[in-house]
Amino acid sequence: MCGIWALFGSDECLSVQCLSAMKIAHRGPDAFRFENVNGFTNCCFGFHRLAVVDQLYGMQPIRVKKFPYLWLCYNGEIYNFKQLQKQFGFDFQTLVDGEVILHLYNRGGIEQTASMLDGVFAFILLDTANRKVFLARDTYGVRPLFKVLTDDGFLGVCSEAKGLINLKHSTSLCSKVEPFLPGHYEVLDLKPSGKVASVELVKFHSCKDEPLHVACDTVEALPSAGFDLETVKSNIRVLFENAVRKRLMAHRRIGCLLSGGLDSSLVAAVLLKLMKDININYPLQTFAIGMENSPDLLAARKVAAHIGSEHHEVILNTEEGIQAIEEVIFSLETYDITTIRASIGMYLVSKYIRKKTDSVVIFSGEGSDELTQGYIYFHKAPSPEEAAEESERLLKELYLFDVLRADRTTAAHGLELRVPFLDHRFTSYYLSLPAELRTPKNGIEKYLLRLSFEDSNLLPKEILWRPKEAFSDGIASVKKSWFSILQDYIDQQVDDLLLEKAAEKYPFNPPKTKESYYYRQIFEKHYSGRSSWLPHYWMPRWVKATDPSARTLKHYKSATQE
């Protein structure tokens, strides 16, 4: 996990512009480099490093003797770099996984490069010999990337939008900063002036398509084909374990977030098992956050005892959570209601991990709810086919919601997140299964995933079959949810009259509640006029919901009252 930043065709002094690069210093606390591009005095790269792989030669932009005309700045991990090196006979100069991007590009161009990378990534690749700039981002946008491109060809690229919004340019002080779309690459021509012109934006991978890099996977072929239940369950276990295994690539200590829900518990259990298999000689640290005796703390404690992790509990108090709201919104760069609610706990547990432990590479369960139809409202889907379509929609929008939350809350404290449920191979296989197989069954969401691990003894049965609990709700008590606590506080902060006039003040995505108004005010304070970064609020479908919390849905209420 790092922070990348680059400018092409700047009219302003680069030493002034580079102050913007310091806005993402939290992403790479270990080292910083600012480097001009030879022959282009108005082009430069900025890089904040978190040293996880090849701590000696991992500074960026990466340049190797074999390709002196290539400059690479990337954020991410390429899990199949050794397999690619072996398959194509690449001669590496460093131990950095990202070096494979240079070799792939030299061998087959940008299309093959982006398609063959098994991992999470956002990169800027400059080819001065052919005067091209390339931008690319992984399928689900696990690693963030923003860009700004003015009409006269000034390009700014950064891991977070906050590193671009204050850039100065002669023709425009407020150009449109926007997220770079996941699963895409862009080709831009580099002019002698250092300015650029966009040539094409190409989608190189869709979540349903089996990725091209399967040929370079550690599990080359699945043991068996077909959709009979035992085969499917076996394949899910094999691919998920493979997804966790490949993410063990690190020279820093590995830890795991553990809410006690199905997803994080499965990740933690498989992770600990594999760490033992490869003789990692330190205990796995797991981390839970919640109020005293909250459902998440109690469940996480049970999981940690079962798997034998070194467990840490962070007790959340109401005042601390409320005080963190503004810094959380600044980190997130969004005003989405459920994203902010869920981020507060994750932000504070990440803060604890950074201050109190030496774990840096943090595993988590993001992506499972979207992939395996884990949200409560999936019980209301009109048909399996519509549920499958909704699952794909959620996956495509992850970069706006849960993946954004997971990246920013951990990156704010210099941690690197790893999310095995969003493994390209695992997700494409799961989405290839018949729609009927993937729906909730017997009133239980994620039924197929749970069933697949039922006989594994990885988790206690009551955890494996624990009903869905939203992270923002599970950290509070059963009697009073976290969103109710937040609303009670915010009710005193926002006047009724302000809410009545909210649509006039904020015509795009107007706030409908005092809570959403409060968040929007803070967002506009830091990112005025940037409300389009959030196309719409996250809300359940097929139900008449006015709040994104699962606790407001009938299915949740009936389940907890039984």
CATH number of the domain at 463, please. 3.40.50.620
Q: Is 376 annotated as a binding residue?
A: no
What is the distance between the alpha carbons of residues 290 and 536, in angstroms, rounded to a whole number? 29
Is there a single domain that holds both residue 236 and residue 128? no
Residue 552 within a domain: no
**Mean pLDDT over residues 427-449, rounded?**
96
pLDDT in the model for residue 56: 56
Is there a single domain that holds both residue 332 and residue 444? yes
Is there a single domain that holds both residue 42 and residue 85? yes
Is there a single domain that holds both residue 378 and residue 279? yes
Residue 89 within a domain: yes
User: What digits encode the pLDDT tens for the residues 287-328?
Assistant: 999 988 888 899 999 999 999 999 999 999 899 999 999 999
Residue 265 within a domain: yes
Is the pLDDT at 372 greater than 80? The verdict is: yes
Is there a single domain that holds both residue 407 and residue 472? yes
- What lies within 8 Å, CB to CB, of 251 at 6+ separation is 51, 52, 53, 54, 55
What is the distance between the alpha carbons of residues 208 and 206, in angstroms, rounded to a whole number? 6
Domain count, the chain: 2
What is the residue-wise DSSP string for 347-361?
A: HHHHHHHHHH--EEE
Domain containing residue 299: 228-491
Catalytic, out of 2, 43, 207, 256:
2
Q: Is 337 annotated as a binding residue?
A: no
Burial of 357 (0-12, 13-18, 19+ CB in 10 A): middle
What is the distance between the alpha carbons of residues 516 and 164, in angstroms, rounded to a whole number? 26
pLDDT: which is higher, 469 or 378? 378
Asked if residue 212 lies in contact with residue 115, where contact means CB atoms within 8 angstroms, the answer is yes
pLDDT in the model for residue 561: 41
Is the pLDDT at 555 greater than 60? The verdict is: no
Is there a single domain that holds both residue 261 and residue 181? no
User: What digits encode the pLDDT tens for the residues 142-196?
Assistant: 999 999 999 999 999 999 999 999 998 876 555 799 999 999 999 999 999 999 9
- Which pLDDT band holds residue 29 (cuts at 50, 70, 90)? confident
What is the residue-wise DSSP string for 489-553?
A: HHHTTS-HHHHHTHHHH--SS---SHHHHHHHHHHHHHSTT-GGGSSS----SSS--SS--GGGS
Percentage of the chain surpassing pLDDT 70?
93
Is there a single domain that holds both residue 178 and residue 264? no
Is there a single domain that holds both residue 237 and residue 199? no
What's the whole-model pTM score? 0.94
- Which pLDDT band holds residue 548 (cuts at 50, 70, 90)? confident
CA geometry: angle 523, 525, 526, nearest 5 deg = 70
CATH number of the domain at 154, please. 3.60.20.10
- Which pLDDT band holds residue 558 (cuts at 50, 70, 90)? very low
Q: Is 374 annotated as a binding residue?
A: no
**Mean pLDDT over residues 497-511, rounded?**
96
Is there a single domain that holds both residue 130 and residue 262? no
User: What digits encode the pLDDT tens for the residues 391-431?
Assistant: 999 999 999 999 999 999 999 999 999 999 999 999 999 99
- What lies within 8 Å, CB to CB, of 289 at 6+ separation is 296, 297, 313, 314, 315, 316, 345, 346, 348, 349, 352, 475
Name the nearest CA neighbour of 83 among 232, 211, 186: 211
Q: Is 289 annotated as a binding residue?
A: yes
Q: Is 50 annotated as a binding residue?
A: no
Is the pLDDT at 560 greater than 50? The verdict is: no
Asked if residue 52 lies in contact with residue 252, where contact means CB atoms within 8 angstroms, the answer is yes
Question: What are the phi and psi torsion angles at 200 (to 5°)?
Answer: -160, 150
Is the pLDDT at 260 greater than 50? The verdict is: yes
Catalytic status, residue 174: no
